[in-house]
Amino acid sequence: MSATPVAAPAAAGVARGGAANLAGAAFAGLAGFGVTWLAARALGPVQAGGFFAATAAFTLAGTVAKLGTPTGLVYFLARLRARDASATALRQCVRTGVVPVAAASVVAAAVLWFAAAPAYATQSRVLAVFLPVAVLCDTLLAATRGWRRMRPTVMLDRLLRPALQLVLLGLLALSAVRAPAAYPLAWALPYVPAAALAGIALRRLVPAAAGRGDFRAGAFWRFTGPRALASVAQLAIGRVDVLLLAALAGLRAAAMYAVASRFLVFGQMVNQALLLAVQPRLAELLGTKDRAGASTLYRTATAWLILAVWPVYLGTAVFASVYLGLFGSGYRAGAAVVVVLAAAMLVATGCGTVDTVLAMAGRTSWNLANVLLALTVNVTVDLALIPHLGPLGAAVGLAAATLTNNLVPLAQIATALRLHPFGRTTFAAALTALGCFGAVPVAVAAVMGTTLPAALVAIVLGGSGYAVALRRVLRLDAIG
C-alpha cells in the first residue's frame, strides 16, 4: 500500500497551515475533554447535566446571532483579495459582516436570559451575559481568516481560551466549589481576553481606506442568509440531543449522553481546523474555475481528516467501557451510545469537508436544504426513541442525521461539480487507520479483555505501526 504525496501548491498550503490548526485542535479537544471530565466528576450527574444543557443552549444561541457571517467573511474577503479589490471594499466587507452581528448577539443574549429553562436557569443566565463577547470573538477571527491568517484562530480559539477554561474549572474542582453559577462563569470568562485580542489582530490586517468602494452588501447577505440558517441547523444537530434529553428524560440522562458523546469533539475540532485552512484556498480555486486544484485540495484534506480522527473513533468504540469509566463507574452504561456514534462518524469523516465544498462553490442554498433535512431526521428520531431508549435513542437520532448530512451533499458535489474525496491517498489513509486502530485493538481486547491495561497496550502497538505507516508508507513528511 502506497500513496504519492501531494505536491500541488494549494495542497501543500493545507498541509502547512493545517498542521498548526491540527495541533491547536488537538489541544482544544483535550481541553474540552478535560472540562467535561471536571464537570462530570465535580458536579455529579444532575448538576453536570444542567451545565451541559446550558452550554448547549449558549452555543446554539451564539450560532443564531452570528447570522452565518463567519463563512461569508471568509468567502468574500478571499475573493476580493484574489481580484485585488480596493482597501475600501475590504473594509466595507468587514463592516457588513461585523456590525449586524453585534446587534444580533445582544438580542440573542436577552432571549437566552428570559427563555432559560427552569431546571438550569441560573447557568443559562450567567452564560447569557457573555454571549455577545463570544459571538464577536468568533466573527472577528473569521475575518482574519479571510486574509488567510490562521495564527489568530489557533492562538486564541484553539489555545488561549480552552486553556483558561480548563485552568479555571480545575481550580473550582480542586476547591470543591459546587455553586451552580461558578462553572458556567469559569467556562465563559475566557471569551473576554480572546475577543479583545481578536479585535487587535483584525485591526492590524484591515488596510486604511483607499480606492473606490464597490462592495455590495446585498450580495453578501444573499450568500450568507442561507448559510446562517444552515449554521444554526448544523449546530442544532449536535446540540438538540442534550436539550431534548434534558426535557424528556431528565438531567441525569443528558449528562450520560454528554459524557458518552464527548469523544466526538476531537473529530469536530480537527474537522474545523482543516476547514479553516481549506476555506479561503477553496474559495479562490473555485472562484477562478480551477477545478483540478480544488479536487486535489479536497482529497488531500480528506486524507488528513481520516488520518487524524479515525484512530480516535475506532479505539474509543472498541474500548468504550474504559473511556466511560474515566468519568465515573455510573457512566459505563453508555457504551452502546459510543459505538453507534463512532460508526456514524467514520462514515461522515470519510466524506471529508463536503459541506465546505458546497459553500465555497456558492451552493449555500443546497447546504441549507441538506442541513434542514438532517435536522428534521434528528428531531424526528429523537422524539420517537428518547422516551423509550433514553441516551441510546438520542445517539441513533444523531447518527441518522449525520449520515444524511454527509451522504446527500456527497452525491450533490459528485453530480454537479464533478468532485469527490476518494483517491489513492484517501484509501491508503483509511486502510492504515483501520489496520492500526481497528484490527489491533480488537485483537488486544480479544486476548486481554476491555480493560485499561489492554487499551494502553493497543495504543502503544497501534500507535507504533501508525507512526511507521505515516512516514514510510503514506510519506506525509514529504507533503509541503
CA–CA gap between residue 164 and residue 155 (Å, rounded): 12
**CA 366 – CA 227 distance, rounded (Å):** 9
Take residue 152 and report the three cell numbers written for it: 489568530
Per-residue pLDDT, 416: 82
Quick check: is 324 in a domain? Answer: yes
- Residue 360: pLDDT above 70? yes
Higher pLDDT, 344 or 292: 344
Is this prediction's pTM over 0.85? Answer: no
16: pLDDT confidence band, cut at 50, 70 and 90? Answer: low
Query: In this structure, is residue 1 part of a structural domain?
Result: no
Among 20-29, 137-146, 310-319, the minimum mean pLDDT is found in 20-29
pLDDT of residue 262: 87
Task: Please tell me the distance from the alpha carbon of residue 74 to that of residue 92, in angstroms, as a whole number.
Answer: 14
- Contact by Cβ (8 Å): 108, 130: no
Residue 189, in any domain of the structure: yes
Quote the pLDDT of residue 133: 97
Domain annotation covers residue 4: no
What is the average per-residue pLDDT within 342-350? 94
Instruction: State residue 479's pLDDT score.
Output: 39
pLDDT in tens, 448-468: 999 999 999 999 999 999 988
pLDDT tier at 478, thresholds 50, 70, 90: very low
Instruction: Pick the more confident residue, 446 or 299.
Output: 446
- Burial grade of 413 (CB within 10 A; 0-12, 13-18, 19 or more): buried
DSSP assignment of 335-368: HHHHHHHHHHHHHHHHT-SHHHHHHHTT-HHHHH
Question: By the 8 A CB rule, do 176 and 45 touch?
Answer: no
Per-residue confidence band for 474, with pLDDT thresholds at 50, 70 and 90:
low
Phi, psi of 251 (to 5 degrees): -70, -30
pLDDT at 7: 39
- Spatial distance between the Cα atoms of 125 and 116, rounded to a whole number of angstroms: 7
Mean pLDDT along residues 19-36: 82
Does 18 score more than 70 pLDDT?
no
Specify the number of domains making up the chain: 1
- Residue 410 confidence (pLDDT): 93
Residue 289, Cβ neighbours under 10 Å: how many?
A: 9
Please give the average per-residue pLDDT across 24-28, as a whole number. Answer: 82
* CA 295/CA 373 separation, integer angstroms: 26
What confidence score (pLDDT) does residue 445 get?
95
Is the distance from CB of 321 to CB of 259 less than 8 angstroms? no
pLDDT digits (tens, 9 = 90+) for 146-169: 888 888 999 999 999 999 999 999
The 10s digit of each residue's pLDDT in 405-449 is: 999 999 998 888 888 888 888 898 999 999 999 999 999 999 999
Distance CA 204, CA 402 (A): 39
Alpha carbon 234 to its chain centroid, in Å, reads 10
State how far the Cα of 450 lies from the Cα of 464, in Å rounded to an integer: 20
- Does 75 map to a domain? yes
Alpha helices (H) along 326-451: 335-350, 354-360, 364-389, 391-416, 424-434, 440-448
Is residue 2 in a domain?
A: no
Between the ranges 32-46, 125-139, 325-339, where is the mean pLDDT highest? 125-139
| Angstrom distances, CA of residue 119 to CA of 49, 123, 252, 281 | 10, 9, 12, 45
pLDDT tens, 84-103?
Answer: 778 888 888 899 999 999 99
The residue type at 265 = V
pLDDT, residue 146, reads 85
Q: Are 396 and 340 in contact (CB under 8 A)?
A: yes
Full domain range(s) for residue 23: 9-478
**Average of per-residue pLDDT values in the chain:** 87
Q: Which residues are within 8 A (CB) of 301 and not within 5 positions of it... i.e. 6 or more apart?
A: 14, 18, 274, 277, 278, 352, 353, 421
pLDDT tens, residue by residue, 201-259: 999 988 876 666 678 888 888 888 877 887 788 888 878 898 899 889 989 899 999 99
The closest of 217, 230, 218 to 359, measured between CA atoms, is 230
Share of the chain above pLDDT 70, in %: 92
Question: Where does residue 203 rank: exposed (0-12), middle (13-18), buried (19+ CB within 10 A)?
Answer: exposed
Assess if residue 3 is contained within a domain: no
Share of the chain above pLDDT 90, in %: 49
In the structure grid, which three cell numbers stand for residue 242, read together? 442534550
Q: What is the pLDDT of residue 275?
A: 75
Output phi, psi for 419, to 5 deg: -125, 145
Cα–Cα distance, 323 to 325 (Å, whole number):
5
Q: Counting beta carbons within 10 angstroms of the beta carbon of residue 52, is it exposed (0 to 12), middle (13 to 18) or buried (19 or more)?
A: buried
Residue 199 has pLDDT above 70, yes or no: yes
Decide if pLDDT at 274 tops 90. Answer: no
Task: Over range 261-281, report the average pLDDT.
Answer: 78
Does the residue 284 lie in any domain? yes
Q: CA-CA distance, 160 to 364, in Å (whole number)?
A: 32
pLDDT band at 356 (very low <50, low <70, confident <90, very high): confident
- Rounded distance, CA 313 to CA 293, Å? 30
